[in-house]
Chain A
Amino acid sequence: MSKALFLALSLIASPAWADWQLNMNEGVTALSREIFDLHMLIFWICVAIGVVVFGVMFYSIFKHRKSKGAVAEHWHENTTVEVIWTVVPFVILIGMAVPATATLIDMYDTSEADVDIQITGYQWKWRYQYLDEDIDFFSNLSTPREEIVNASAKNANYLLEVDNPLVIPANKKVRFLITANDVIHSWWVPHFAVKKDAIPGFINESWVNVEEPGVYRGQCTELCGKDHGFMPVVVEVKSEADYAKWVADQKAMKLAMAGEASKEFSMDDLIAKGEGVYNTACAGCHQLNGQGIPGAFPAISGSTIATGAIDAHIDIIVNGKAGTAMQAFKEQLSAVDIAAVVTYQRNALGNSVGDMVQPSAIQK
């Protein structure tokens, strides 16, 4: 009945999008390959033990059954055999422990890194700060809300794409300093075999040396609230030359953005830009249509704040509201973005206040 319905729905609804991946990825670092090899070693040892043990068991199930006329023998002890099957597993374990310890020691490498990046977990996004450059940005899920609520088809990188990926150079030791802003998160990139908990108030470190440029995707791996499944990790590994160029571009962009903050924008431009900001940074709680979730997240449509005094509206976005889930966005959004999203909220989502705010009016 309902099972058949589900099966039917799956046949109708799902295109052939998925893999049937059975195993861990080998990854793109020397360490990830070491870990993969260790994983396979242990796995095959377990398979071998399983084959022997279950083999004996299934043999017995077939041969020693009453219906085949088997008569029970009457022994129930054998010290020699018991000693053997205590010692042999112990020896196998030592055989496993040696490579495992070696790999673990390799993971705890503390040699100096070429690049140090502070990674801070927030509900529900990551912040990347390059310690030796003046680069600081947030990385949000960029999958459109419509795809999540099944209003449009899902793209290939569904839930594993962000607006601003972390960018690191290949073939350099990159060190990550991992912490959190609110609750415990965990930063994981399977292809790097790097996973480390982000603990509020404490700093953890990890490192990677990626051999191949490319884009690598991971996710938050510690339950951190509502959108734990919606804060992916995307790392773009660039060649040394491309990375240097990217760093220079970031600095230029920052100068440009500072310049933008003193420009005057038209209402239409603000609203258009604001819609993008809203969908990335606000729709997760306040919903795409601005209706919020009654009892949990207030609506923007018709709200006192979004239709009332503009200063209060700006303030709640810049500084958040203490004691609630409404975060302070002053670090996460530029003055241009804040001006845009305020203008959008006041002139869309069912509101039509008619006013707008310029970036220069945003005090952070």
Chain B
Amino acid sequence: MQESVKTKRLVVRLATAAVLMFGFGFALVPLYEVFCDITGLNGKNFTQGPAAITAVDRSRTVKVQFVTVNPAEMPWEFKPTERTMRVFPGEDKVTAFYAKNPTPEWMVAQAVPSVTPSEAAQYLHKVNCFCFDRQPLDAGADTEMPLVFVVDPELPKHITTITLSYALYDLTETDNQQVTLRSQDNDKGRASL
């Protein structure tokens, strides 16, 4: 019964391959993140924390624009205090975003950043950003949320404008459910799944 042994082995191998490909599908998720992170493609940038940049390049300025989006069902007012800044690469800059919770409930929001052009993403370092943390606001309260950033002097010369967008999401419900987990969260970086 040589043939049926061969067949059984082949079938097991093929079934294993199928299972591995299922795993590969899921592996594409972190692979995608890593790929985006390394290459800065898709405008995702996770470069945060203090950047080890020493020199300021005063030979050129870069226009940095700020854009805000309130996705569906997010009632907060949310806008940049400064729409545009002209910065020297290498220079630390500070700006702020205004947010107001007009509802009669305490709420918690999470800002999700996105950068265009995508090649610029890896050159925009957020030293400190309100998007690192969830932002709670009492009913009716407002606040100015800070952003400290620096444009890397390595930014390719042909990029003269960088736009940073924040989409502000309402995480009140999920936050309530995860209240006990929050203390274990690493508050740096984007919101955990």
Interface presence of A287 (CB below 8 A)? no
> For window 55-93 of chain B, which residues contact chain A by CB distance below 8 Å?
63, 65, 67, 69-73, 75, 83-84
B72/A179 in contact, CB under 8 A: no
A318 to chain B: closest residue by CB:
B75
Interface presence of A316 (CB below 8 A)? no
Interface presence of B165 (CB below 8 A)? yes
**A203 surroundings in chain B (CB, below 8 A):** 43, 67, 69, 114-116, 163, 165
**B114 surroundings in chain A (CB, below 8 A):** 179, 201-203
Size bracket, chain A contacts: 20 to 34
**B103 surroundings in chain A (CB, below 8 A):** 319
Interface presence of B159 (CB below 8 A)? yes
Interface presence of A19 (CB below 8 A)? no
A110/B158 in contact, CB under 8 A: yes
**B145 surroundings in chain A (CB, below 8 A):** none
In whole angstroms, how far apart are the Cα atoms of A177 and B103 in the complex?
29
Interface presence of B161 (CB below 8 A)? yes
Q: 10 new A-B pairs (CB below 8 Å) besides A132-B84, A328-B75?
A: A110-B159, A111-B158, A112-B63, A132-B83, A177-B65, A181-B71, A201-B69, A202-B114, A203-B67, A205-B163
B42 to chain A: closest residue by CB:
A202
**A118 surroundings in chain B (CB, below 8 A):** 67
**A123 surroundings in chain B (CB, below 8 A):** 72
B75/A177 in contact, CB under 8 A: no
B161/A175 in contact, CB under 8 A: yes
> For window 116-148 of chain A, which residues contact chain B by CB distance below 8 Å?
116, 118, 120, 122-123, 131-132
A131/B73 in contact, CB under 8 A: no
> For window 136-166 of chain B, which residues contact chain A by CB distance below 8 Å?
158-161, 163, 165
Interface presence of A41 (CB below 8 A)? no
Measured CB to CB, the closest approach of chain B to A237, in angstroms, equals: 22
In whole angstroms, how far apart are the Cα atoms of A329 and B117 in the complex?
31
A320/B73 in contact, CB under 8 A: yes
A110/B165 in contact, CB under 8 A: no
In whole angstroms, how far apart are the Cα atoms of A112 and B84 in the complex?
13
Interface presence of B167 (CB below 8 A)? yes
Interface presence of A276 (CB below 8 A)? no
A-B contacts, 28 listed (Cβ < 8 Å): A110-B117, A110-B158, A110-B160, A110-B161, A112-B63, A116-B163, A120-B69, A131-B65, A131-B83, A132-B84, A175-B161, A179-B165, A179-B167, A181-B69, A181-B72, A201-B71, A201-B169, A202-B43, A202-B114, A203-B43, A203-B69, A203-B116, A203-B163, A204-B116, A319-B75, A319-B103, A328-B73, A331-B70
**B159 surroundings in chain A (CB, below 8 A):** 110
Question: Which 7 residue pairs are nearest across A and B when measured between Cβ atoms?
Answer: A203-B165, A205-B116, A202-B114, A182-B72, A203-B114, A201-B167, A112-B160
Interface presence of A322 (CB below 8 A)? yes
Measured CB to CB, the closest approach of chain B to A47, in angstroms, equals: 36
A177/B71 in contact, CB under 8 A: no
Measured CB to CB, the closest approach of chain A to B48, in angstroms, equals: 18
> For window 97-111 of chain B, which residues contact chain A by CB distance below 8 Å?
102-103
**B161 surroundings in chain A (CB, below 8 A):** 110, 112-113, 175
Measured CB to CB, the closest approach of chain B to A301, in angstroms, equals: 26
A123 to chain B: closest residue by CB:
B72
In whole angstroms, how far apart are the Cα atoms of A132 and B66 in the complex?
11
Interface presence of B51 (CB below 8 A)? no
**B112 surroundings in chain A (CB, below 8 A):** 201
A177/B116 in contact, CB under 8 A: yes
**A200 surroundings in chain B (CB, below 8 A):** 71, 167
Measured CB to CB, the closest approach of chain A to B72, in angstroms, equals: 4
Measured CB to CB, the closest approach of chain B to A30, in angstroms, equals: 19
Interface presence of A327 (CB below 8 A)? yes
Measured CB to CB, the closest approach of chain A to B119, in angstroms, equals: 8
In whole angstroms, how far apart are the Cα atoms of A181 and B73 in the complex?
9
Measured CB to CB, the closest approach of chain B to A238, in angstroms, equals: 23
In whole angstroms, how far apart are the Cα atoms of A319 and B67 in the complex?
23
Measured CB to CB, the closest approach of chain A to B17, in angstroms, equals: 31
Measured CB to CB, the closest approach of chain A to B62, in angstroms, equals: 10
Interface centre among A177, A327, A331, A364 (most CB of B within 10 A): A177
User: What does the 1/0 interface line of A17-38 toward B look like (CB < 8 Å)?
Assistant: 0000000000000000000000
Q: Given A110-B160, A131-B65, A203-B67, answer yes or no on A327-B72 (Cβ-Cβ < 8 Å).
A: yes
